[in-house]
Structure 1
Amino acid sequence: MDNHIIWHKSAITREDRHHLNGHKSGVLWFTGLSGSGKSTLANAVDAQLYELGVRSYVLDGDNIRHGLNKGLGFGIEDRIENIRRIGEVAKLFADSGQIVSTAFISPFREDREQARSLFPSGEFIEIFVDCPLAVCEKRDPKGLYRKARRGEIRDFTGIDSPYEAPLNPELIIETYRHSIFKAADIVVSYLRNQKFIP
């Protein structure tokens, strides 16, 4: 980093924003295979938080690649940069006092741990959206697995690129066992129990 770039301290602190909002901020980091239900679950949680008057936002993997990460591919280096950028953006949302949900495959543990290191202790909530590969392939909502099996997509997670499941996530949600509504309830209950929201 350039030695001439100096961090400018904000006049309003994160704690000030927590007080104004009536809830804490942080990141719900949804990780799992394509088709596991990350985006669906993140949006279901976001809808519940909205109804509770909680300031929140969803950063979705596909949506981010339409703008901020438009120029990145799916090779290992680009995947690492993709998650690095998302970690930094999620940190800004949390600094603004919001609960931000990130719905990204984020296949590598090291990248997720790097993102965790950006947050104060307890404000990074890793949620493993657990769903067997066979179920994800059967769902295949975007037809990506079929394309990967035909060789039309390379470096596809779960097919020819690895997925490293979290070792100690804060939550494991088995989306092949629970309805999306039950799964969202589990996440919101966790936020209540951890005193993020009233």
Structure 2
Amino acid sequence: MTTTARPRGATVWLTGLPSAGKTTVAGLLRDRLRADGRRVEVLDGDEIRRFLTAGLGFSRADRCANVRRVGLVAEVLARNGVVCLVPVIAPYAESRDAVRARHAASATPYFEVYVATPVEVCAARDVKGLYARQAAGMLTGLTGVDDPYEPPTDPALVLRTRAQTPWESADAVHAMLAEHGLTRRAGRVASGVNSRG
């Protein structure tokens, strides 16, 4: 009796400022990967905050703990053949490095994707009204405004969303995964993408 090898999983961590487009890109990529026949899960930052890390606040320590917990779930899923898409801000390099190290320890593919949308563009989009609330004095600790964001120094891919559509951004990540044998090569590849920073 022959058995078919389970496809390798991977984690794609989409980091960037609030309203950068992380969740939009993740949703489009999820649909595309499912069409390829891949098992995919999206670990959405807002849902994680409501359930898995509901007791954590927004101090540096709590933000790092949040990222580490999400990273644990992502690594377990990816290690078991799932492509795990993680549109989570993860503002601090130390916590992102810890997630990368967890994946490396189990030889699980991990890709840090920097959704490099300038803060002024994010503020104009303001999908959740966070920038407006911060400007009105109703919110403090907004990442990239009055709380730090440490951009990745060596991401696997940089998405400059001001210059490309969400579909082009999703295409770029899909192409990267295809290059690593993690999905089928298909469709168009986005232009205007700066790979490796």
Unaligned runs of 5+ in 2: 185-197
Which AA in structure 2 matches 1:149? Answer: A
Residue 166 (str. 1) matches residue 152 (str. 2): yes
Cα distance in 2 between the residues matched to 1:72 and 1:47: 31
Cα distance in 1 between the residues matched to 2:181 and 2:158: 19
Cα distance in 2 between the residues matched to 1:24 and 1:171: 20
Q: How does 1:1-198 map to 2 (within 5 A)?
A: 19-20=5-6, 23-120=7-104, 121=107, 123-198=109-184
Q: How far is the alpha carbon of 1:92 from its aligned partner?
A: 1.1
1:181 aligns to what SS in structure 2? Answer: helix
Cα distance in 2 between the residues matched to 1:157 and 1:77: 14
Percent identical residues: 36
2:51 aligns to what SS in structure 1? Answer: coil
Unaligned runs of 5+ in 1: 1-15
What TM-score does the superposition give when structure 1 sets the normalisation length?
A: 0.87
Cα distance in 1 between the residues matched to 2:62 and 2:138: 19
Q: Post-superposition, which runs of at least 4 consecutive aligned residues in structure 1 deviate over 2 A?
A: none
Report the number of matched residues.
180
Q: How far is the alpha carbon of 1:24 from its aligned partner?
A: 1.7
**Aligned alpha-carbon RMSD (Å):** 1.4
Q: How far is the alpha carbon of 1:159 from its aligned partner?
A: 1.1
Cα distance in 1 between the residues matched to 2:151 and 2:141: 17
Q: How far is the alpha carbon of 1:157 from its aligned partner?
A: 0.4
Deviations 1:115-154 (A, max 9, x none): 0001135711000001000000000011001111222112
Cα distance in 2 between the residues matched to 1:71 and 1:150: 26
1:102 aligns to what SS in structure 2? Answer: strand
What TM-score does the superposition give when structure 2 sets the normalisation length?
A: 0.88
